[in-house]
Each structure stands twice: as C-alpha cells, then as structure tokens.
Structure 1
Amino acid sequence: MKNINRVIIIGWDGAGTFVQGAHTPHLDRFIQTGAFTLEAQTVVPSISAQCWGALLHGVVPEKHGLTNDLAATASFPEDSEFPSIFRLAREAYPHKKLASFSAWQPINDGIIERSLEVHKVNIAVDGELALAAASYIRDNPDLLLMYIDLDWPDAMGHRHGFNTPEQIHGIEMTDAHTGIILDAIEAAGIWDDSLIIIVTDHGGGGIQPQDHGSDHPLDTTIFWGCIGPGIQTEAALSGLTITDTAAVVAHALGLQAPAAWDAKLPIGLFANEKHTAPSAAD
C-alpha cells in the first residue's frame, strides 16, 4: 500500500446533502471508491466562517472565535492554541508546498494564518478558480497540502433558495468544476498517493428558504467523503463532524494533532491507524 504524500481538500460551500437530488457524475465516481456519508454534521451556527474555521482549525466556533466579519478583516492569531492544519504542516515541513485557492476570500485573508508562506489565490468565479487550481496541481505535483473552496451552491441558495432547481443546477456546475480538478490530479500522476477530501460546510433552508445558520437539520447535515491509500470504503463514519476533518488531515500527513483540538479521527477510516510521514519530507 502506498503512503499518503499529500492532502487535497475540495470544499463545496452550501451544498448540504442536496447533492442527492443533483446529477453529479464526478462526485458519484469519487464515492464509488472512497468513504462517504450523507449524515455528517457541521457546527452551529452553521455559517461559513464558523464551519470552515472548524474544519481548518480542528475546534468548534466557541473556541476558534471566527465569524464572517472577523475572517474578512483580521488574520487568525499566529499564537493561538488552535492552529490550522496549514500551520501544523508548515511547522513540520518548512519547505513543502502549501496552497489555498478560494472563491470566498475570507478563507485566505482571515481563517488561514498569513505568515505561513501558503500560496494563496482568490478568484470569485468558480470555473476560473477550478482551472487555476488544476493548473497549479499539474505544475506542482510535489505539493503537500491544498485547500480549494468552490462557492456556487451557496450563492445559488442565497439567491434562489436552498434545494431549489436553481441551487441544484449550481451543485451540478460545482461537480463539473470538481471534475476539472480531479482530472488534473490524475494527469499529474498523483492520484494513487494522495488523500482527497470532498466536503461541504453547511446546508440551508432550515428556517429561512434562502439562508442558513440555525441548528435545523437542513442547515447542519452535510456530506463528507475521502479517497486515498488505506482508506476503508466501508468505514461507518458514524458521528463524523466537519471538525474531525482536521484530525483526518493531521493523521494522513503524520502531524501531531494539538491536545486542544476537538477533532477526532474517525474509527476505522484508515486501514493502518499508525501514520507514515509523506516521502521526501523536508
């Protein structure tokens, strides 16, 4: 079995579990050979900064303290006891390539620490972002950690309502954009030694048809999936939360998860629960 030499996270903002009603051939192909659940839970309030903050920093919003406004105007404290997965990766591998491509700029401005020499790209148009991310992957197959945020499902949900035909179309477009990224991973020859995670941050329409943020199941129930060396396709993923993503990434890259993290490694997800550091580590 090959080692995991990199992690690539593809985030679909606002897709909830509404992928069930969409034509998503790229996600479907991904699901067939990976571990997947439609019963994962996000954090409350189910708002983007709180949710992506939990994924990236491994703790619930009450601890990381991020809001949309704060993420847009201030960088996450460098000395926080709740470091992001990017900070852990940079501290362990000072010279490895880290990248974040985001359609929602606060992720790069305020959620990921600014001093880490992460290659950050902000492009508001998902299709252009996917092409840029795909180009980066093809040119940098030796990358260690990459995060990609696609925003169209959330934008369509706010504009037309969540789980509406218009939002479903937005999800289908996001699947097509994800296909561009997955094709680039294969073309770069790094599919077999990468851990790829596809996840959404929240749903919507639980209380307000065109909004989210509540503890209603439509707002808080999300899909989560991953594929890679040693991933058990039949893993139950019972009780998985978006916060646990940080623990999955840390384990895959051989990073020491902080004791302060709430993130927990899902039992049975990896065939070998003992991690192996990426090859050619600096």
Structure 2
Amino acid sequence: MFAKRVIVIGWDGAGNFVREARTPHLDRLIARGAYTYEAKAVIPTISAQCWGSMLHGVSPLKHGLDNGIAASRAYPEQSPYPSVFRAVREARPAGELASYVCWKPINNGIIEQSAGVRFVSQADEELAEAAAGHIRECSGLDLMFIQFDAPDIAGHKDGYGTAGQMRTIAETDGRTGKVIEAVAARGWTEETLFIVLSDHGGGGERPDSHGSSHPLDQTIFWACAGPGIRAGSAVPVSLTITDTAAVIVHALGLEAPSQWEAKLPEGLFSGTA
C-alpha cells in the first residue's frame, strides 16, 4: 500500500526533548503510526550535515555539506548522490514538489536547483501558514519538506532541554498541527505519509550548543504515520536520519538510488520482510 504523497516535517534542534514537551499534534500522529525517541543523527551533529544526509541518503563524507558550504553555493548538479527531490522528479516528471523552510540554505544549497521544487523560505510562524495554504490550494502534491527552526534557536538561546526550549517545541507542535489540519481539510489524510523528526539535539558538551557525538546531541525523535504503517509498528533501534530517504521513496512506490546508503527499516511497513 503506497502513499499518494509524503510530507516530512523537521523540528530543527529538538533532539528527543519532545518527550518532555506538550505536543498533542505529534502525540496523535504517534498514536496511529510508528515512532522512536532513540533514532540517531549523523556526526557532526550540525544542521547541514544532518539535513543533507536525510535528503541525500548518504553520510556527510559523501554529500560533502556543512553549514558554510550550504549557505554559499548550490548543491552540485553532477553529484552522484541525488536528493529525494531529484529521485522523485526523475520518476515523476510532472509531480509537484515543495520545500518550505526557515533555514534558507536547505533550499539554496542542499536541494538541487534543477529538481523543479517550489522553494519558500520564511520565519516559522509565517512558514506554517504558507505551507498550510499551499496544501489547501495546490492542484496536487507528491513530496513536501517543511523545516521549523525555532527549537534550535531556543536551544542556543536558553539551553537544550530547558523550559524555554520546551515552550518553543510546544509552539512548533502547534505549527505542525496547522499543516496536518490542512491535509485533513483536503481529505488527504488517509493517503498521505507524514514523517516528523529532528535533525539533532544539543546540550551534550555545552548547554547551548551541539555538534558532538554526545548522546544528547546525537539522539533524535522520529515518527511516521500513513499508508502501510500500522499503529504501534516497531522502529528498529538502528534507525538513522539518513534512512529517512529510503522511507520516503518506498512510501511513494519508487526505487531508491543505488548510490544511497539509506536503508529501509525492517518491518516498518506492513508486509516488509
């Protein structure tokens, strides 16, 4: 059973601190799908490396991204490691692809500019409204990535896992709810696979920073719900953020590029051996 579309929602810097925050929208998603609070980011636990691995299905050593590179140049079109957006575009030339992010280097430097993606970069609150509006008004949708930056900003400001960051995570859950509600308003819930995750945590070596291999920096939450996912399905303890790429293309009924390191989690989808 494949999904008609996949919507990935990233909570930057939220790690697995969501366990301590008020997140009713995430909780409802978890209740009808699969989740873990013990997935792993890549090392170094920095946004460009982590989102780059999620989107390109390979380690930072292969995709070659860091924050400075992503902020200063476009992702090389000749790279042997295509993003999920390029993989979907090649399989579905007429598909509708969108990336709505707060951290602009994702759109400018991590996703290929030639992949035919609708790129929008805005602050979190405006971004939630814009992404929900696109869902309500678009003619169709194959793949959408939404990245909210506020949890990471709060972690740097107040400290990771602090009450200040918990408040911001709760606000991010509310913004995620706007996206989920827009999908429901279109009557798309049963045919949409949602993936909600973080790129990294923080507070491992310093209360207000990240980047190390410390478990507080490296451990993230990861949740999905939608076609082919039974409520309560187990998520393997070996799941990494990189594997998300394999989940996305499998959910759409597509083959993963042979160059990817991303692995489809065993047993995640009904009927998966």
TM class by shorter-chain length?
over 0.9
TM-score using structure 2 length: 0.97
What one-letter code is carried by the residue in structure 2 that aligns with 1:45?
Answer: P
Write the mapping of 1:16-95 to structure 2, written as runs, cut at 5 A: 16-95=15-94
CA contact (8 A) 1:232 1:268 kept: no
2:164 counterpart letter in structure 1: E
Local SS of the residue matching 1:171: helix
Unmatched runs of 5 consecutive residues or more in structure 2 = none
Bigger mean CA offset, 231-240 vs 104-113? 231-240
CA contact (8 A) 1:39 1:222 kept: yes
| Conservation of the 8 A alpha-carbon contact between 1:141 and 1:188 | no
What per-residue deviation string (whole Å, max 9, x for no partner) do you get for residues 156-207 of structure 1? 0011111111111110110010111110010011110011100100000000
Q: Tell which deviates more after alignment, 177-186 or 248-257.
A: 248-257
Q: Which amino acid in 2 is paired with 1:132?
A: A
- Which residue in 2 is equivalent to 1:222? 220
2:43 partner SS: coil
Counterpart secondary structure, 2:109: helix
Which residue identity is paired with 1:29?
R
List runs of 5+ in structure 1 lacking aligned partners: 275-282
TM-score by length of structure 1 reads 0.94
Amino acid at match of 1:218: L
Q: Which residue of 182, 185, 191 corresponds with 2:183?
A: 185
Identity of paired residues, percent?
55
User: What is the rounded CA distance, in whole Å, between the counterparts of 2:60 and 2:201 in structure 1?
Assistant: 17
Shift of 1:141: 5.4
Q: Which runs of 4+ in 1 moved over 4 A?
A: none
Alpha-carbon separation, structure 2, partners of 1:170 and 1:153: 6
Counterpart-to-counterpart distance in 1, 2:232 and 2:128: 30
**Cα pair 2:103 2:147 within 8 Å, conserved:** yes
Separation of aligned partners in 2, 1:182 and 1:203: 24
Determine the structure 2 residue equivalent to 1:242. 241
The residue identity in structure 2 corresponding to 1:151 is: D
> Does the aligned pair in 2 maintain the 1:36–1:233 contact within 8 Å?
no
Instruction: Measure, in 1, the Cα distance between the counterparts of 2:170 and 2:139.
Output: 27
Shift in Å, 1:21 = 1.0
How far did 1:272 drift? 3.2
CA drift of 1:116 comes to: 1.4
> What is the one-letter code of the residue matched to 2:185?
A
Per-residue deviation, residues 10-42 of structure 1 (Å, max 9, x unmatched)? 000000011111111111111110100001001
Deviations 1:134-159 (A, max 9, x none): 00001125100000000110000011
Q: In structure 2, which of residues 129, 149, 153 is the aligned counterpart of residue 155 of structure 1?
A: 153
What is aligned with 1:130?
A: 128
Q: Check whether the contact 2:96–2:143 (CA below 8 A) recurs between aligned residues.
A: yes
CA contact under 8 A between 2:245 and 2:262: conserved in structure 1? Answer: yes
Aligned residues of 2:32 and 2:232 also touching (Cα < 8 A): no
Structure 2 counterpart of 1:194, from 192, 195, 212 = 192
CA deviation vs aligned residue, 1:28-57 (integer Å, no higher than 9, x gap)? 111110100001001000000000000000
Alpha carbons 1:141, 1:190 under 8 Å: kept: no
CA distance in 1, matches of 2:51, 2:239: 15
How many pairs are equivalent?
272
User: Is the contact between residue 2 and residue 252 of structure 2 (CA under 8 Å) also seen in structure 1?
Assistant: no
Distance (Å, rounded) in 1 between the aligned partners of 2:234 and 2:80: 31
In structure 2, distance between residues paired with 1:99 and 1:75: 17
Whether the aligned pair in 2 keeps the contact of 1:57 and 1:82 (CA below 8 Å) is yes
